[in-house]
Amino acid sequence: MHSLDKTDIDLLKILQQNASLTIKQIASKIGMSSTAVFERKRKLEKNKVITHYAAVIDPEKIGKNLLAYCYVSLKEHSDEKLRKFENEVIKIEEIMECNTVAGNADYILKIITENISKYNLILDKLSKLQNISTTKSIIVLKQIKNTVHLRLS
């Protein structure tokens, strides 16, 4: 784990709120020189504390009105079978997250798409993958909290 000091944490908090700020704008907020902020930011990127930058888009504003979670159980659990499933799931653009889990399923997939018909097409794609034993869908009716910001101490 990369050791973070107060300045690193302050920098990360600012970037989580608005990653489009210029180095100069960030420097004025932190009270450091632009060069020092640039070097800190570059070090955080090099150490993979910051993995990438992205615009956070409201799915409903672009017609993606359905959020669902799909629990997937596999028949076989060899490394080869797991890797093959994971590689296929990565190719399906509507799958936003794929996580291995403990419990009644092997994976949980977060899927965002236009509507239930489109969701059924994704389920069809999944059902055609080899080694799937069962799937279970949870359709989200109302999202109470959705954030990409991590708590920084």
> Tell me, what CATH number does 42's domain have?
1.10.10
Left (φ > 0), alpha (ψ -120 to 50) or beta: where does 131 sit?
A: left
Q: Does any domain span residue 87?
A: yes
| Single-letter residue type at 140 | V
| DSSP-based helix, strand, coil % in the chain, nearest 5 | 40, 20, 40
β-bridge partners, 97: 110
Query: How confident is the model at residue 1, as a pLDDT?
Result: 58
Query: How confident is the model at residue 153, as a pLDDT?
Result: 79
| Single-letter residue type at 25 | Q
Query: How confident is the model at residue 3, as a pLDDT?
Result: 87
Distance in angstroms (rounded) separating the CA atoms of residues 144 and 108: 19
Distance in angstroms (rounded) separating the CA atoms of residues 95 and 26: 34
Q: Does any domain span residue 67?
A: yes
pTM of the predicted protein model: 0.88
Q: Does any domain span residue 150?
A: no
Query: How confident is the model at residue 2, as a pLDDT?
Result: 66
State the residue range of the domain holding 70: 59-139
Which of the residues in the chain have pLDDT under 70?
A: 1-2
Looking at the structure, do residues 70 and 123 belong to the same domain, yes or no?
A: yes
Burial label, 106 (beta-carbon count in 10 A; 0-12, 13-18, 19+): buried
